[in-house]
């Protein structure tokens, strides 16, 4: 099965012209491109195969919320997916209670949330069981707004397991092993069956690049990858897409 490759451009690139060029070069089936808000309309105009995503969404449609962009507004701009709970937003102070509201808000507007969970280095240093407990707490809190009785359809929610210490190719980090990452994906899947009677679709994120993509994507536990830094380099990103397509 072709894997889903999500491009998280974060706060890149600098201009609309560069964003359009990057979108054209990355346009492929099973790809989701998440540009910064101002570039969404221009990217929407050039994408023929890839789906459009956003990197955040305030719950609801309209309201007195200066500086926020709503799930409804994004939907109207052609967005289908939204990254929520990314560790870089959590580092800016976003809490599980807000993330839970964003998840239910995005779902209500018909967007597919890509919920990011993952433990920081200090937790992982205490061992894998501690990391599982951390991820479990995040997941249960972030999904608390979704009723357990209304079965979550796997295709309506993606969960990205992103160990915080493995994120960002620019940092001198220790790589996560595909084995441990897959163990965490199995744990997430089992948890969702119990908590929400749902099959979970799990992606891996954390410095996925042309070299290591195949080792993560080959694991059946992962339905795809969330790619940051490597998605800004078209040649590199094409290799990641290819690694996901040939499985
Ligand atoms: P990275 O980013 O691939 O640069 O580590 C992934 C992410 O933060 O979503």
**Does the pLDDT of residue 63 top 70, yes or no?**
yes
CA of 230 from ligand 1 middle (Å) equals 8
Q: Which of 73, 88, 109, 162 is catalytic?
A: 162
What is each CA distance from 182 to 36, 131, 176, 244, in whole angstroms?
30, 13, 10, 16
Q: 3-state DSSP helix/strand/coil percent for the chain, to nearest 5?
A: 45, 15, 40
pLDDT-based confidence at 154, cuts 50/70/90?
low
- Sole residue written with tokens 């346009």: 27
* Cβ–ligand 1 contact at 228 (below 6 Å): yes
Structural domain count of the chain: 1
Closest atom, ligand 1, to C-alpha of 170? 4
How many other CB atoms are there within 10 angstroms of residue 13's CB atom?
Answer: 16
The 10s digit of each residue's pLDDT in 182-211 is 999 999 999 999 888 888 899 999 999 999
| Helix (H/G/I), strand (E/B), else coil: 3 | coil
Q: What is the rounded CA–CA span in Å between residue 133 and residue 140?
A: 11
Q: Which of 86, 88, 119, 176 is catalytic?
A: 86
pLDDT score at 155: 66
The 10s digit of each residue's pLDDT in 96-152 is 999 999 999 999 999 999 999 999 999 999 999 999 999 999 999 999 998 765 666
Domain harbouring 63, CATH code: 3.20.20.70
Question: What's the pTM?
Answer: 0.96
Cis ω before 76 (30° cut-off from 0): no
Mutate which of 32, 213, 225, 226 to test ligand 1's pocket (most atoms within 8 Å of Cβ)?
Answer: 226
Domain limits at 14? 4-245
Would you call 86 a catalytic residue per the annotation? yes
């Amino acid at each position: 099965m072709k894997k889903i490759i999500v491009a998280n451009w974060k706060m890149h690139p600098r201009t609309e012209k560069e964003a359009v060029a990057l979108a054209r070069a990355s346009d492929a089936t099973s790809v989701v491109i998440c540009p910064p808000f101002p570039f969404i309309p221009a990217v929407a105009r050039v994408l023929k195969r890839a789906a459009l995503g956003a990197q955040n969404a305030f719950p609801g449609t309209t309201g007195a919320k200066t500086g926020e962009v709503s799930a409804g507004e994004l939907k109207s701009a052609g967005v289908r997916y939204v990254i929520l709970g990314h560790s870089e937003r959590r580092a800016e102070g976003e809490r599980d209670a807000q993330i839970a509201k964003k998840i239910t808000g995005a779902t209500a507007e018909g967007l597919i949330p890509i919920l990011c969970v993952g433990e920081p280095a200090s937790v992982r240093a205490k061992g894998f069981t501690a990391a599982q407990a951390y991820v479990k707490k995040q997941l249960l809190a972030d999904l608390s707004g979704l009723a357990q009785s209304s079965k979550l359809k796997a295709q309506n929610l993606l969960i990205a397991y992103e160990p915080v210490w493995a994120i960002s190719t620019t940092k001198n980090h220790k790589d996560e092993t595909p084995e441990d990452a897959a163990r965490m994906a199995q744990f997430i899947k089992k948890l969702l069956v119990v908590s929400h009677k749902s099959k979970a679709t799990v992606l891996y994120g954390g410095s996925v690049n042309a070299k290591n993509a195949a080792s993560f994507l080959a694991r059946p536990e992962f339905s795809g990858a969330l790619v940051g830094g490597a998605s800004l380099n078209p040649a590199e990103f094409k290799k990641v897409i290819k690694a996901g397509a040939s499985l």
